[in-house]
Amino acid sequence: MVLVIGAAQTPFNRRRDGSGFRDWSGDAFEAALAMSGIERRDIDALIVGSESDFFTLQLNPASVLAQDLGLCGAETLRVEGGGATGQLAVHAGVDRILSGRARHVAVIGVDPSASTLAGESIRELYGYSFDFWTDGLSGVTATALYALSWQAFATANGGQIDDLNAVTIKNRRNAMSNPDAHLPREHRVEEFAASPMIASPYCRLHCSPLSDGAAALILSAPDAAPEARRNRAPRITGIGAASDLPGLGHRADPAVFGAKSRAAQRAYDMAGVTPSDIAVAEVYDAYAGAELQAIAALGLSPEPIRSLRDGDFDADGTCPVNLSGGLMGQGAPVGATGVGQTATCALMLEGRYHAGLQPDRPLGHALADTHGGVGTTCAVTILSAGATA
């Protein structure tokens, strides 16, 4: 296991104050370092999750951030895996500690996803993040592919437009208690009918925003953690990743996130838990329907649409999902998303999350989940509460 002795993030939003990814990375890192109780000289490796050079305009962000953060001499690595970038960066940090190559690792996820490129350029860029020869050159958009996948899932599982609205309302309502959130909203049902259609059945309100921001973790080997953090700090007890065919039409069932199921099972097996042990989850909701498809793939409910309608994923439900607001509400700076999810889970397990969102019952295990493409590159992390949480 690996301890999360420090966890922090900046607000996720659209920055208009002249700051950049190096500033946000520094803010998140310093806050996580202060929580950890170690010194920067103790850090053996810096892992940076950053999805696209087009966002940062920096081909080697890990070395640049090592300079900025006073970590020159530490091992540096930049990780990229589409929407799974941040979670894969967490896994790279865990691997360094479990292998004995490092005692303390800093993981930073960051992307200026909202402020660098025009919206049309981003839509084109994300079209290239699938298979360029088949999807990218055709001009198909990410929203269209997600919509096709949801249509297949909804047909098989009885999903309705009201379910997409309910996910959006739930997540953005949660975001209202999150001071770091990009889109805290109390939506009215009638707003959805008036929202512009992007790719049926997804209207604009069913889509997550592009955001700027950073998140950071300080990971530690158990015997290297400061005594004050050793027992209280949450543990990363399971990680798993898997891939699927990039082309949605090449898969046996375009409705199913098969790679996510494989990634989750690997994480569950490593942690020695089952889906029923998960008390709270942060899942990848780039689009409203993708949350329900993720819940099905993760095994968190055999009937996710019925569970949604029964309130099981609400803040006071049996397994709250995306208490942070998820991508829909908290926002989505891509490289920071998975790191932020893991930070959120760690803070919840330790009882240190935002007032109004921190569950009032003891939490044993939490799950963080991301993917790139339409469930193409998937990464899942299981965290468990510390001994004295």
d(CA 59, CA 252): 37
Amino acid at 188: R
Residues 6 or more apart from 239 whose CB is under 8 A from it?
Answer: 90, 91, 94, 266, 267, 270, 379, 380, 381, 382
The listed CATH number (2.40.280.10, 3.40.47.10, 3.10.129.10, 2.40.50.140) that belongs to domain 2-117+210-383: 3.40.47.10
Mean pLDDT of the region 12-31: 96
For residue 8, list its beta bridge partners.
216
Q: What pLDDT is stored for residue 377 in this prediction?
A: 97
Mean pLDDT of the region 174-188: 97
Kind and range of the H or E element at 14?
none
Q: What pLDDT is stored for residue 371 in this prediction?
A: 97
280-282 and 365-372 as β-strands: parallel, antiparallel, unpaired? parallel
Is residue 333 reached through a cis peptide bond, with omega within 30 degrees of 0 on the bond before it? no
pLDDT of 311 over the 80 cut: yes
What are the backbone dihedrals phi and psi of residue 187, each rounded to the nearest 5 degrees, phi first? -75, 145
What are the backbone dihedrals phi and psi of residue 7, each rounded to the nearest 5 degrees, phi first? -155, 130
Mean pLDDT of the region 162-179: 98
Domain spans in the chain, listed from the N-terminal domain onward: 2-117+210-383
pLDDT of 388 over the 80 cut: no
pLDDT of 263 over the 60 cut: yes
pLDDT of 135 over the 80 cut: no
DSSP string, 328-357: HHT---HHHHHHHHHHHHHHHHTT-S-TTT
Q: Which residue's structure tokens are 């000289």?
A: 41
Q: 374 versus 118: which is more confidently predicted? A: 374
d(CA 50, CA 351): 29
DSSP string, 267-332: HHHHHT--GGG--EEE---SBHHHHHHHHHHHTS-SSHHHHHHTTTTSTTSSS-B-TT-HHHHT--
Question: In percent, how much of the chain has pLDDT > 90?
Answer: 88
DSSP string, 202-262: EEGGGBPPP-EEEEEEEEE-GGGS-HHHHTTS-EEEEEEEEE--SSGGGSS-TT--HHHHH
pTM of the prediction?
Answer: 0.96
* Average pLDDT over the chain, rounded to an integer: 95
* Banded model confidence at residue 389, pLDDT cuts 50, 70, 90: low
Per-residue pLDDT of 102-128, as tens digits, reads 999 999 999 998 888 787 787 777 777
* Banded model confidence at residue 138, pLDDT cuts 50, 70, 90: confident
Residue pair 305/159 in contact (Cβ under 8 Å)? The answer is yes
Region of 134 on the Ramachandran plot (φ > 0 left; ψ -120 to 50 alpha; else beta): alpha
pLDDT of 137 over the 80 cut: no
Nearest CA to 81 among 363, 300, 296, 376? 376
Q: What pLDDT is stored for residue 215 in this prediction?
A: 98
Q: What pLDDT is stored for residue 178 in this prediction?
A: 98
* Banded model confidence at residue 52, pLDDT cuts 50, 70, 90: confident
